C-alpha cells in the first residue's frame, strides 16, 4: 500500500494522468485524487491531465481544471498514473512519466505488469477509484473527491452489477454516499443518460448485430460513414457493447468501430467463461477478464474471424475440462 503522506513530503509539483479516451473510472480516480491533494497539500502544485472527456461528464467537479496537453517545462516531482495498464495507454502524457522524478501507478488491470517506480495494482478491485479511496483518509476527504470516486466505481461496476463488485466496493460506496453526494444524479447523468444521437447509433448497432458461433457470440460494428451520418464520435459509442452483452444466452459481445480505414477499435465483453483479457492482450491490447479492448487492422470480416478463433479455442477447452 502507498503511504501518501510519505510520498508527498516536500513535493512541489504533482501531476496526475489517466488513460487515453478516458472513461468514468479514469476520470473519477484522477479527479478524486486531485481534489484530495488540493485540499490537503495546499503548498503543492497539483495538476490533472486527461484527453477530452465525454460531454456527459461536463458537471463533474474539477473537469474544467483538467489540462489536455503537457507544457514544455513541466517536470513533476511525483507523477500518478491511474487506471493505465501500460505506458502506451498514457498516450501523449507518457511525456510526464519520462520527466517525473518518481512515478506511482495505481491500477486494477490484470494485464498491468508494473511499469512504475511504485506499483499499487490489485486486479480484483472493482476500479482504480476504489483503490484511490483505500489510500485516502476518510476524515480529510472533500465531497468533490467522494463524487468523483463514486462515479468511477459506478462506471467500472456497470452500476454495481458486474462480478467485480465486492462487499468492500459496496461499503466504500456507502461511505462515499455519507459524504453527502448526489448518488442518483451521478448515476443518471454520467452513466444512463444518452443524447438522442447516441441512442440512434445504439439502435443502429443493435439492428445490425449478428449472432455467431451457435448464438454464443453477438457482434456489431459501426463504420466511420455511419458515425458521420448520425453526427457522433467514438465517445458516443460508450455502453453499446454492454447492451449487446445483455442479450440473453450469449457468452461474448464484440463491438468494433472504425478509427481509420481498415483499423478498428475493438471492445470485448464476456459473461462467465471466456477470458477476453488474454484475447485482447494477444492482439496488443489488454483489460480485464470480463471487459477488454484492443485496436486491430484489416477488414471487419478479418477482425471478427481472428477474435472468434480465440473464443472458440477457449470454449472448447472449457467443454473438454467438464
* 45 bridge partner residues: 13
Shortest distance (Å) from residue 295 CB to ligand 5GP: 6
Q: Does 89 bind ligand 5GP (CB under 6 A)?
A: yes
Kindly list the strands in the beta sheet with 13-18, ordered across the sheet, starting from the edge strand earlier in the chain: 45-49, 13-18, 78-82, 102-107, 118-121
Tell me which of 51, 83, 86, 130 binds Mn ion, using CB under 5 A: 83
Rounded to 10 deg, the angle between the 24-40 and 143-156 helix axes is 160
Shortest distance (Å) from residue 18 CB to ligand 5GP: 10
Beta strands in the chain (DSSP E): 13-18, 45-49, 78-82, 102-107, 118-121, 210-212, 217-222, 252-260, 263-270, 286-287, 291-297
Contacts with 237 (C-beta within 8 Å, 6 or more apart), sequence order: 198, 201, 205, 222, 227, 255, 257
Q: Return the closest-CA partner of residue 81 out of 91, 66, 68, 69.
A: 91
Tell me which of 11, 294, 296, 303 binds ligand 5GP, using CB under 6 A: 294
Q: Does 85 bind ligand 5GP (CB under 6 A)?
A: yes
Tell me which of 37, 121, 292, 307 binds ligand 5GP, using CB under 6 A: 292
Site string for ligand 5GP, 25-64 (x = CB under 6 A): ----------------------------------------
Q: For ligand 5GP, which stretch binds (CB under 6 A), given 45-53, 117-125, 198-206, 293-301?
A: 293-301
Cα dihedral sign for 16, 17, 18, 23? positive
Q: Does 86 bind ligand 5GP (CB under 6 A)?
A: yes
Shortest distance (Å) from residue 299 CB to Mn ion: 31
CB-based contact 29:152 (threshold 8 Å): yes
Site string for Mn ion, 147-166 (x = CB under 5 A): ---------x----------
* Helix, strand, coil fractions of the chain, as percent rounded to 5: 45, 20, 35
Instruction: Please state, in angstroms and rounded to a whole number, the distance separating the CA atoms of residues 37 and 4.
Output: 9
Site string for Mn ion, 109-128 (x = CB under 5 A): ------------------xx
Q: For Mn ion, which stretch binds (CB under 5 A), given 76-84, 89-97, 200-208, 283-291?
A: 76-84
Question: Number of residues in contact with ligand 5GP, rule: CB under 6 A?
Answer: 16
Binding site for ligand 5GP (CB under 6 A): 19, 85-86, 89, 111, 241, 267, 285-288, 291-295
Binding site for Mn ion (CB under 5 A): 25, 83, 127-128, 156
Amino acid at each position: 500500500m502507498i503511504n501518501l503522506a510519505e510520498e508527498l513530503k516536500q513535493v512541489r509539483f504533482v501531476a496526475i494522468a489517466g488513460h487515453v479516451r478516458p472513461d468514468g473510472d479514469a476520470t473519477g480516480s484522477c479527479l478524486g485524487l486531485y481534489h484530495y491533494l488540493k485540499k490537503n497539500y495546499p503548498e503543492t502544485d497539483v495538476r490533472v491531465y486527461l484527453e477530452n472527456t465525454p460531454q456527459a461528464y461536463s458537471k463533474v467537479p474539477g473537469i474544467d481544471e483538467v489540462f489536455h496537453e503537457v507544457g514544455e517545462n513541466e517536470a513533476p516531482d511525483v507523477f500518478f498514473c491511474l487506471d493505465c495498464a501500460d505506458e502506451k495507454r498514457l498516450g501523449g502524457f507518457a511525456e510526464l512519466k519520462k520527466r517525473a522524478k518518481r512515478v506511482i501507478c495505481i491500477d486494477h488491470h490484470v494485464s498491468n505488469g508494473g511499469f512504475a517506480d511504485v506499483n499499487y495494482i490489485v486486479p480484483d478491485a472493482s476500479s482504480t477509484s476504489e483503490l484511490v479511496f483505500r489510500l485516502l483518509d476518510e476524515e480529510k476527504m472533500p465531497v468533490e473527491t467522494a463524487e468523483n470516486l463514486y462515479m468511477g466505481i459506478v462506471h467500472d461496476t456497470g452500476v454495481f452489477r458486474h462480478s467485480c463488485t465486492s462487499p468492500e466496493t459496496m461499503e466504500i460506496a456507502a461511505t462515499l454516499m455519507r459524504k453527502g453526494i448526489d448518488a442518483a444524479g451521478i448515476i443518471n447523468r454520467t452513466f444512463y443518460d444518452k443524447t438522442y444521437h447516441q441512442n440512434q447509433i445504439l439502435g443502429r448497432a443493435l439492428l445490425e448485430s449478428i449472432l455467431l458461433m451457435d448464438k454464443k457470440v453477438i457482434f456489431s460494428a459501426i463504420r466511420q460513414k455511419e458515425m458521420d451520418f448520425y453526427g457522433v464520435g467514438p465517445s458516443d459509442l460508450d455502453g453499446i457493447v454492454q447492451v449487446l452483452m445483455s442479450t440473453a444466452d450469449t457468452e461474448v459481445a464484440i463491438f468494433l468501430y472504425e478509427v481509420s480505414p481498415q483499423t478498428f477499435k475493438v471492445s470485448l465483453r464476456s459473461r462467465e467463461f471466456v477470458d477476453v483479457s488474454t484475447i485482447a492482450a494477444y492482439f496488443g491490447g489488454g483489460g480485464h477478464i470480463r471487459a477488454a479492448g484492443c485496436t486491430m487492422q484489416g477488414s471487419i470480416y478479418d477482425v471478427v474471424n481472428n477474435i472468434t478463433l480465440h473464443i472458440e479455442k477457449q470454449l472448447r477447452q472449457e467443454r473438454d475440462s467438464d
